[in-house]
Amino acid sequence: MLKDKFFFRARFGLVSAFCALCFSALCFNACKDAPPSWYFSAQSDKENLYGVGSGTNLQSAKDNALNDMLSTLQVELDSQTSLNQSFSNGVESSNMSLQIEKRIAKTTLSNVTYKTELTGNTYYARAQISKATFIKQLKEEQKALAKELSALNLTCEDLNLSEFSALNAKLEEAQQTQNYLYALGSEGNLSLAHYVSLWQANAPKPKLALVLENPNAYGAKEMQSALQKELVKFYRLDSSSSQKAYFSFELLSPTALEGTLKITNCKGDTTLVLQISANIPSSNMDKLAQRAGVILYKKLEASMQEQ
């Protein structure tokens, strides 16, 4: 009996020792992989911006810290700016918000300092930049954007597809810098009123007037219907638009046609010319016109990708 008690106590002692050893090992590993103390320390003051991040490599930790630093500004900017967008027919209206983007690619940040540390298999980083330096960089970026907007040379109220795309992209960049400056308590020096007004007049798609140059020709009605069906995917068709799309076509046979679409701006300058050649197996004007419309759509899409 005494022997059994001794054996039980000895076995219990070994189990307890083993558990204590495992617990100590777990605690040691946990402590070893724990973030450094500065990672959770207070990181805000009037002169600087901070952000923290971690990753499996040093660069990802730095990127995450930089994103964290910029995301602190996002809280102050939600719903800060929106652009009214109205459709000319009055049937539909909505708001488009040009909100700040968290991506850092569009904002060039230099003079960012990092505090880094490798703990276990994890890298930890803290990013820091002075607000004054950030503001200075943003204002320099605004100056560059002002030149780029001016270089677009948007002299017509009705924009073509490439002009509208370029304006939209530059406005997003400009609005982003404005928003950053707003969050930092600084006034921007870039006036966007003219460009925003121009954007509103063309959103969500630029206006275009379709003009059939041979409206009395056989098949003109079918061609007009087919062209309108495809053009509305890119434009708002409006007969009063100063941007014109002149279309002429010639029936080569009951199953084939050739056509030309020429788009001009408010000055009458040609901005795009597309040649169309369509044919079908059997005579059917509706189907021939539809085929020509599909070809036009593909060529318009390709022209946008090239610009």
Better pLDDT: 128 or 17: 128
Residue 3: pLDDT band with limits 50, 70, 90: very low
Strands 256-264, 113-119: pairing is unpaired
> What does the pLDDT average to over 149-160?
96
> What does the pLDDT average to over 67-83?
62
Residue 76: pLDDT band with limits 50, 70, 90: low
Question: Is a pLDDT exceeding 80 seen at residue 177?
Answer: yes
Question: Is a pLDDT exceeding 90 seen at residue 175?
Answer: no
Of the ranges 1-5, 139-143, 235-239, which one carries the lowest mean pLDDT score? 1-5
Any idea what the Cα angle at residue 304 is, between residues 81 and 203, rounded to 5°? 30
Global pTM reads 0.72
Q: Mean pLDDT: which of 5-9, 11-15, 137-141 is highest? A: 137-141
Of the ranges 78-82, 156-160, 229-233, which one carries the lowest mean pLDDT score? 78-82
Tell me the two tokens of residue 151.
């270089």
Residue 86: pLDDT band with limits 50, 70, 90: very low
Question: Is a pLDDT exceeding 60 seen at residue 249?
Answer: yes
Closest CA to 83 of 4, 179, 161: 179
Q: What is the pLDDT of residue 61?
A: 95
Contact predicate 263/244, CB 8 Å = yes
Domains of the chain: 48-202 (3.10.28.20), 207-306 (3.30.160)
Question: Is a pLDDT exceeding 50 seen at residue 299?
Answer: yes
Residue 81: pLDDT band with limits 50, 70, 90: very low
DSSP states of 226-279 as a string?
HHHHHHTTT-EE-TT-SSEEEEEEEEEETTEEEEEEEEE-TTS-EEEEEEEEEE
Contact predicate 34/66, CB 8 Å = no
Closest CA to 159 of 231, 281, 243: 243
Q: What is the pLDDT of residues 31-44, one digit of tens each?
A: 556 899 999 886 77
Q: What is the pLDDT of residue 6?
A: 44
Residue 45: pLDDT band with limits 50, 70, 90: confident
